Amino acid sequence: MSEPPPVRARGNSASHTSQLHTYLSSSPIAAASIAQDISDQYDTGDLDGDGDSDTDSINQPLGHCLAESYRRPSYIATGPRSTITANKLEHVHLSKAEREVARNEERSLLRDNNIIPPKHPRRSSDSTMAQKLKSQLSFGRLRKVQSVPDEESRRAEHEYLNRAVNEDTPLIGDPSRPYGGIDNPSLIDRTWESAVLAGKIQTTWQRESKVLARYSRSLILTFLLQYSLTVASIFTVGHIGKVELGAVSLASMTANITGYAVYQGLATSLDTLAAQAYGSGHKKLVGLQLQRMVYFLWTITIPIAIIWLLGTQILEAIVPEKETARLAGLYLKILLIGAPGYAAFESGKRYVQAQGLFSATTYVLLICAPTNALMNYLFVWVFGWGFVGAPIAVAVTENLLPLCLFIYVYFVHGMECWGGFSKRAFRNWWPMIKLALPGLVMVLAEFLAFEILTLSASWFSTSHLAAQSILSTVAALTFQIPFPMSIAASTRIANLIGATLAEPARMAAKVAMVAAVFVGVLNTTLLSSLKAYIPRLFTSDPEVIDLVAGVLPICAAFQLFDSIATNCNGILRGLGRQEIGGYVSLFAYYIVGLPISFGTAFGLGWELHGLWAGPAIGLAVVALINNIFIWRTSWDRAVQEAKKRNSQG
């Protein structure tokens, strides 16, 4: 999976070790926890080479590794917007691949700003196409490119390195060779530092557009694949009947609030603990943190299991439709089989992400998502299991996810952070719990604000509940495009801010905003034009189809606000002001959105139209306030604050 490349902070080679990611705040809790684990290692003599980082990595200049540049929110849900705060690393150890990605990005920016010669020198105009092709394919040329630079190139490089980068600096070197024949790591590092100090690094909207498109596409694929695990059940069960469709929605809502949100919220502490353990060079501690989190989440599964086993009784006391409550309770009982696997997968994702292995999750989902869809079809329709086939397929998939991730780690990449099972995983839980609780509160608040609409719809009728299930699914599906784009944008902006490049960061934000508007308009157009066809994909019930088609225009109307608000949150994360987005979102959801939803739906009798009016207005408020804040933000001040956070690190 392609990821946004890091751009390393400026500074001389001696000071690279202090250049940490700028918008990540330090975590004393995490530092104390890791220190305790290291102390336990020495006390037990269980070192296992832990802490012995790759010497090549230690001796190389440090930069803004993508693995530390942004803690990806690892959950996909119907509506919640991520405001999870990442944390600063004490040390950053870049792998060779990460250093190469960073250097390539720097080289590209230097070339675009005419600070180093272009990679492909221009040929004389009188050269024929045949001559050009012959020159490119000749063995002598290949040997020349791959050979060690000659003495003349070394002299040119020495002269270049000792020149100040300014408008009058001539491009020197051998013009017949890529980048003038003077391209090597030391040259790129020193030239980059000089260029940033001289304020010569700029970017263009064309360049930032390509970067955003290139890095968003793989993220969008990953998010769509993960959300397809939920969509598959709704697709297959929806055509059985509207009662079954409503039951799936009600069960999914209950599972999200009482189970999945708990797992995802608590697992966010690994975004700090595992990342800091890896960044400090104590890689085996990442595996220890993984074990500790898995055991913790499995312990939490006990009260979750009690709630799910009593799901029928609890839901019968809340919703008026008893048959819907019974089927939803049955769904939860079967889903419980997959809960431990889901908890292990949430922990495992953080384990690989701490190592910068974001592609691991994509590969796993490329296998499990189609398998889940196939099992839903087979179990529900081919094998004739009906409604119960859907939760069985989900439970099997949830246990398949950690198994596939384990196979990837064991046979492909990621075992360097595994030190084997240890009894220490049953100790030192309190720092993990303290770090997990804020993430749990935020995730639960976001889930509850959106999922509560589903519960409210059940008070109108079974048809309204079934229609709400389709509407929330469609809205969440369209969200899987702007949200990954905001992740790519926030990473790009954060890295440019970290490299003290205020104007390029501003340009990246402008491009991201334009892209968000485009995606919002596109989603609005699609939902509006296909309002008569979309509900037929989920159900054959005429009443439900009419309800969905009537409310879809409202869902389409707030797609633009949704996309802009999501992008604004991404920009704020890149600026290191993610708490602004969190406060604004909670205000918009609970103070603005939900009161409007209940007032219009029940007070004015607008029913589903009223329920969806609240989120539409709430997202408009988020987009407006965040845009005002970003518009008034001083990007130069953001760079200075980033420097200050670095120095304090």
In a domain, 291, yes or no: yes
Q: Quick check: 588 and 621 in contact, CB under 8 A?
A: yes
Count CA atoms closer than 13 A to 647's CA, side-chain side.
6
* Distance (Å, whole) CA 9 – CA 7: 7
pLDDT attached to residue 391: 96
Residues 254-269, mean pLDDT to the nearest whole number: 87
Residues 526-549, mean pLDDT to the nearest whole number: 92
In a domain, 578, yes or no: yes
pLDDT tier at 642, thresholds 50, 70, 90? low
Pick from 319-323, 478-482, 486-490, 539-543: least confident: 486-490
pLDDT attached to residue 7: 41
C-alpha distances in Å from residue 649, one per residue of 24, 27, 89, 274, 615: 10, 10, 8, 18, 40
Residues 255-260, mean pLDDT to the nearest whole number: 90
Give residue-wise pLDDT tens across range 270-287.
877 787 778 677 888 889
pLDDT attached to residue 173: 52
* 273 or 632, which is more confident: 632
Q: Quick check: 370 and 226 in contact, CB under 8 A?
A: no
Does residue 561 have a pLDDT over 70?
yes
* 38 or 385, which is more confident: 385
* 386 or 71, which is more confident: 386
In angstroms, the first-to-last Cα distance of the chain is 31
Does residue 123 have a pLDDT over 80?
no
Residues found in the chain = 649
For the chain, give the mean pLDDT.
77
In a domain, 527, yes or no: yes
* Distance (Å, whole) CA 459 – CA 457: 5
Residues 461-480, mean pLDDT to the nearest whole number: 90
Q: Quick check: 256 and 307 in contact, CB under 8 A?
A: no
Give residue-wise pLDDT tens across range 200-240.
677 778 888 888 888 788 889 888 998 898 889 988 998 89
In a domain, 319, yes or no: yes
Range of the domain at 608: 205-452+459-648
Nearest to 329 by CA among 258, 266, 234, 235: 258
Phi, psi of 517 (to 5 degrees): -65, -40
Does residue 104 have a pLDDT over 80?
no
Q: Quick check: 172 and 207 in contact, CB under 8 A?
A: no
pLDDT attached to residue 605: 93
Residues 461-467, mean pLDDT to the nearest whole number: 91
Amino acid (1-letter code) at residue 333: K
Q: How many domains does the chain have?
A: 1
* Distance (Å, whole) CA 449 – CA 447: 6
pLDDT attached to residue 345: 95
Does residue 379 have a pLDDT over 90?
yes
- pTM equals 0.72
Q: Quick check: 316 and 325 in contact, CB under 8 A?
A: yes
Nearest to 600 by CA among 385, 435, 453: 453
In a domain, 168, yes or no: no
| Selection from 10-14, 376-380, 449-453, 584-588 with the highest mean pLDDT | 376-380
Residue matched to tokens 């892209």: 515
Q: Quick check: 179 and 111 in contact, CB under 8 A?
A: yes
Instruction: Report the run of H or E that residue 514 belongs to, with start and end.
Output: helix 502-529
Name the token pair of 618.
């709430």
In a domain, 116, yes or no: no
In a domain, 192, yes or no: no
Phi, psi of 5 (to 5 degrees): -75, 145
Give residue-wise pLDDT tens across range 283-315.
888 899 999 999 999 999 999 999 999 999 999
pLDDT attached to residue 325: 93
Residue matched to tokens 């890791």: 34
Q: Write the Ramachandran bin of 165: left for phi over 0, alpha for psi from -120 to 50, otherwise beta.
A: beta
With a pLDDT cut of 90, the percent of the chain lying above it is 36
pLDDT tier at 9, thresholds 50, 70, 90? very low
- E strand residue ranges, 255-380: none
Q: Quick check: 18 and 89 in contact, CB under 8 A?
A: no
In a domain, 439, yes or no: yes
Cβ neighbours of residue 362 under 8 Å, at least 6 residues apart? 1, 218, 221, 222, 225
Residues 372-389, mean pLDDT to the nearest whole number: 95
Residues 326-341, mean pLDDT to the nearest whole number: 96
pLDDT attached to residue 10: 35
Nearest to 429 by CA among 271, 269, 263: 269
C-alpha distances in Å from residue 6, one per residue of 319, 548, 605: 50, 44, 52
pLDDT attached to residue 131: 52
Cβ neighbours of residue 471 under 8 Å, at least 6 residues apart? 548, 551, 552, 555, 608, 612
pLDDT attached to residue 28: 60
For 139-195, the DSSP string reads HHHHHHHHSPP-HHHHHHHHHHHTS--STT----S-TTSGGGG---HHHHHHHHHHH
Name the token pair of 136.
């490119």
Nearest to 10 by CA among 500, 504, 635, 639: 500
Give residue-wise pLDDT tens across range 19-37.
333 333 345 666 666 677 7
* Distance (Å, whole) CA 171 – CA 360: 42
* Distance (Å, whole) CA 348 – CA 294: 9
